[in-house]
Amino acid sequence: MTHTQVAPARGAAPLLVPLLAGGLVAVALGVYGRAHAPTGFAVGLAGFSGPLAMKAWLTTGAALLAVVQVLSAMALWGRITVTGSWVAPLHRWSGRLAFVLTVPVAFHCLYSLGAQYDAPRVLVHSALGCFFYGVFTAKMLALPKRGLPGWTLPVLGGLVFTALAGLWLTSSFWFFTTLGVRF
C-alpha cells in the first residue's frame, strides 16, 4: 500500500461485541432485578442514617465525578485547553472512583428492592440503572479496540454520563427535594 492509498474502513463492526455484551448486561440486570425476590434489608450503610441517604450521597459523588469525567475527556480530545500530564490519570481515576461509588448503590437496589415498575419515577430509575451498567460495559470493552469510528468513545461516554445524570435526578435529587438533605 503506498502513502496515497487509504486503508479500507472497518466501520462499526468491531463495536458488535462490546454492544452485545453491554446489551446482555443490561437485560441480565433487569431480569435479575425483576425475578429476584427483594429482601427489604439494607446493606452497607457505612455511617449513613439509612439506605436512601447512602444511595443519594454515593450517587451524588458518582455524578460529580462524572462531571470531572466529561471535562477531562474534553481536555483529552482537545475540546478545551488544559495542559499537563495529570489530565489522563485524572480521567482514569475519576472514572474508576465514580464506578466504585455506584456498586454499593446498585447492589442495594437489586438485592434489597429489585427492579420496580409500579411508579413512573421508579420505572425510569430501574431502566436507567440497567442501561447505565450496560452502556458502561460496552464503553469499557470498546476502549482497548483499535479501528473504531472516532465517534465511538464520545458517544458511549456521553451515554454513560446521561444515564448517570438520569439516575441522579430520579434518586438523589428526588431524595434531597422530597426528604431533605441529610446523612
User: How do residues 59-84 score in pLDDT, each as one tens digit?
Assistant: 999 999 999 999 999 998 888 888 88
**C-beta of residue 108 within 8 angstroms of C-beta of residue 54:** yes
* pTM for this entry: 0.86
The whole-angstrom separation of Cα 26 and Cα 29 is 5
The DSSP secondary structure of 103-121, one letter per residue, reads HHHHHHIIIII----SSHH
Residue 26 neighbours by CB distance under 10 Å: 21
All cell numbers assigned to 126: 430501574
User: How do residues 80-125 score in pLDDT, each as one tens digit?
Assistant: 888 888 999 999 999 999 999 999 999 888 888 877 778 898 889 9
Residue 110 neighbours by CB distance under 10 Å: 19
The whole-angstrom separation of Cα 63 and Cα 61 is 5
When mean pLDDT is compared over 51-55, 102-106, 176-180, the highest value belongs to 102-106
The whole-angstrom separation of Cα 164 and Cα 59 is 8
